[in-house]
């Protein structure tokens, strides 16, 4: 299993064992109702609890990227995420915060508000200037595989060879990012983004091949439809399935789990460490 380190804001973070990135939504329309925060006070309380439960990174998003999500203006997105980022860091100065956005303006505003990472679901395809922001501030960049936009991605699921096509995508994007001066990279295979249910599971079975990039691999499958639809459940009922797949993903090289349910994800990591007779 790849065990790279990650440099964030001058801090070297070990990924010797998998870490948790907590989903902190500042949106009213996230697909999982339990992740919606109606007020800034509720969101700040949730952030503090996530840190207590063991989250390494808080991922703050102001634009739902679920399929067919409503569009949000850049101004509204910034107004959603920046006060939350500032509030988190005021209450928890040592917290590590990422901003979940595909817009350069939002990314820059969030970094100025204190965010440390950029988590871009579009891989720079929607707003190429976001790479310049990552280079300017020398912050880690989560490079995800996707196609199109949240409104169009599920019509873009035709691949010649799924895993090989995604591998080629990362090869080209990593080279281009490094040429622009972005060196701290995290790879996200993009489960649920421009992929059918069958393709999601094919990619998961083969995800170990992406360890050859020697970069941290982030997995975002928490409560997604690839879990609850085949089980004929809802997102609210998908925690058990999420935990089951987290275990499989960690065995295939996942270094970071992006989750709604921090405590349960941390417990799965602890039990896996115990299974392999490692220190908890």
Q: Look up 258 and say whether it is catalytic.
A: yes
Q: How far apart are CA 60 and CA 42, in angstroms?
A: 14
Q: Are 154 and 200 in contact (CB under 8 A)?
A: no
Given 80, 147, 173, 258, the catalytic residue: 258
Q: Look up 278 and say whether it is catalytic.
A: no
Rounded alpha-carbon distances, angstroms, from residue 100 to 72, 109, 196, 199, 251: 13, 12, 23, 24, 26
C-alpha triplet 151, 154, 156: angle, nearest 5°: 105
- At CB < 8 A and 24+ separation, what contacts does 123-130 make? 123/169, 123/173, 124/173, 124/177, 126/102, 127/102, 127/103, 129/104, 130/101, 130/102, 130/103, 130/104
Given 147, 173, 224, 252, the catalytic residue: 224
Which residues belong to the active site?
A: 224, 258
């Amino acid at each position: 299993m790849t065990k790279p380190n990650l440099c964030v804001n001058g801090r070297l973070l070990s990924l010797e064992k998998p870490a948790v990135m907590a989903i902190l939504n500042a949106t009213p329309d996230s697909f999982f109702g339990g992740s919606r925060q109606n007020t800034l006070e509720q969101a700040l309380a949730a952030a503090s609890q996530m840190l207590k439960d063991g989250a390494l990174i808080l991922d703050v998003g102001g634009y739902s990227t679920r399929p067919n999500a409503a569009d949000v203006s850049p101004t509204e997105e910034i107004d959603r995420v920046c006060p939350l980022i500032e509030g988190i860091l005021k209450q928890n100065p040592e917290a590590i915060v990422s901003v979940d956005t595909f817009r350069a303006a939002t990314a820059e505003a969030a970094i100025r508000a204190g965010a440390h990472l950029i988590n871009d679901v579009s891989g720079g395809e929607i707003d190429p200037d976001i790479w310049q922001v990552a280079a300017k501030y020398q912050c880690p960049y989560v490079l995800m595989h996707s196609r199109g936009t949240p409104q169009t991605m599920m019509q873009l699921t035709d691949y010649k060879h799924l895993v090989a096509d995604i591998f080629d995508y990362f090869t080209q994007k990593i080279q281009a990012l490094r040429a622009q001066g972005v060196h701290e990279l995290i790879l996200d295979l993009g489960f649920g983004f421009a992929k059918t249910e069958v393709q999601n599971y094919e990619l998961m079975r083969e995800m170990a091949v992406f360890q050859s990039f020697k970069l941290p691999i982030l997995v975002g499958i928490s409560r997604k439809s690839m879990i609850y639809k085949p089980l004929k459940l809802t997102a609210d009922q998908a925690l058990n399935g999420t935990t089951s797949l987290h275990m499989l993903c960690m065995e295939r090289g996942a270094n970071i789990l992006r989750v709604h349910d921090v405590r349960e994800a941390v417990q799965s990591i602890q039990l896996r460490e115990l299974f392999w007779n490692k220190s908890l």
